Amino acid sequence: MSKLDGKRILACCANGAGSSLMMEKAIDKVMKKYSAKPAELRHCPISEGKSAARNYDIVFCAKTFTKNFEDVGDKTIVIPLKNVMSDKEIEAGLQEAGLLD
Amino acid sequence: MANVLETIVEKKHYSFINGEGVTWQEAVRLSALPLVEDGSVSEDYYKQIVACIEKHGPYVVFEHNIAMPHTTENPEGAYKTGIGFMVSENMIDFGEDEDGEKKEANLFFTLSAVNSEEHMNNISQLMDIFMNDDLIDALGKCRSAEDILEAMKKYPCDNE
C-alpha cells in the first residue's frame, strides 16, 4: 500500500505538450518504483491546469508556473520542479508532502 | 520505434552553427530551419516558440545546456511531427530564470508536435537522451551527421 494510491495527479507546463509530458513520464516512473497506484495521472497546459488544479490531490509544475496555483486551496498539494525530468526532485517533493515513506 | 537521432539524420533535421553573438530568438529560428526546408513547419512557426519563451521565461532550457523549444500540440504552422536538432559551438544566452540563474544552451531539440503517438515517442526518447550524460557531452561536440550517428552508437540509451 502506498499513500499515493487513489490520488489524482496533474502535471502542468505552458503548453501541455513538452515539459508536462516529460513530467508525467518521470512521475509515472516514480509511481512504478514505489508500486503506487494513483487513480489518475495526466498532463495539461497551464491555462487548463489553473482551473483544473483544485480537482487534483497533487499538482506538479515547472517552478516558473508556481504562482499560477497560489489560490488553489488547501486540498491540493503543489510541487514545483526545477528540473521536470528529475525523479529525485519528484521523490523529494512527495516526501516533503508526507506522501512517500 | 525508430531511433530519434537516426530519424534526425535521415530527414536532415540537423544544423551546426558557430553561435557567436547569436541571440536565443535567432537560435530558435535557425534550429527550426531544417524543419521549414522539408515542409514540416512553416517559416513563421518559430515565432510562436519565441513568444512562449518571452512570456514564461527560459523554462525550456534544461540541465546540461539542453534547450527544447516547443509550443503546443497541433499548433498553427506545424504540419509534421519532428525534431530540429542543432549544435552551437558557442553557448546561446537565454537570460535568467525565475531564481536569477543564468540559462544557456548549446544543444537544441526544437519540437513540432502534430501526430500524438509520434510525439509521445519522441518525448520519451528525448528524456532518455537528456539523462544520458555521456551522450549529451558527445552530441555537444558533433559537427556533422556522421558525428551524430557515431555518438549514438557509442553511448546508446537503454530502452526499458
Among B48, B49, B59, the strongest candidate for a mutation testing the A interface, having the largest count of A CBs within 10 A, is: B59
Give residue B50's domain range.
4-94+101-154
Residue of A nearest to B61 (CA): A83
Which member of B70, B124, B131 has the closest CB to residue A15?
Answer: B70
Q: Looking at the domain that runs over A8-96, which CATH code has it been given?
A: 3.40.50.2300
Q: Is the pTM of this model over 0.95?
A: no
Cβ contacts of A13 on chain B, cutoff 8 Å: 59
How many inter-chain contacts (A to B, CB under 8 Å) are there? 57
Q: For residues B157 and A53, give the distance between their C-alpha atoms in angstroms, rounded to a whole number.
A: 34
Number of domain units in chain B: 1
Selection from A99, A91, A98, A100 nearest residue A26 by Cα: A91
pLDDT, one tens digit per residue, over B31-85 is 999 999 999 999 999 999 999 999 989 999 999 999 999 998 888 999 999 999 9
The reply to whether B159 falls in a domain is no
pLDDT, one tens digit per residue, over B80-93 is 999 999 999 999 99
The reply to whether B67 falls in a domain is yes
Q: Cβ separation of A45 and B72 shorter than 8 Å? A: yes
* Helix, strand, or coil (residue B153): helix
CATH of the domain at B112: 3.40.930.10
Query: pLDDT value at position A91?
Result: 97
Q: Is B80 in contact with B112 (CB distance < 8 Å)?
A: yes
Q: Give helix B145-154 / helix B133-140 axis angle, nearest 10°.
A: 160
- The ipTM estimated for the assembled molecules is 0.86
Q: Cβ separation of A45 and B56 shorter than 8 Å? A: no
pLDDT, one tens digit per residue, over A53-92 is 999 999 999 999 999 999 998 899 999 999 999 999 999 9
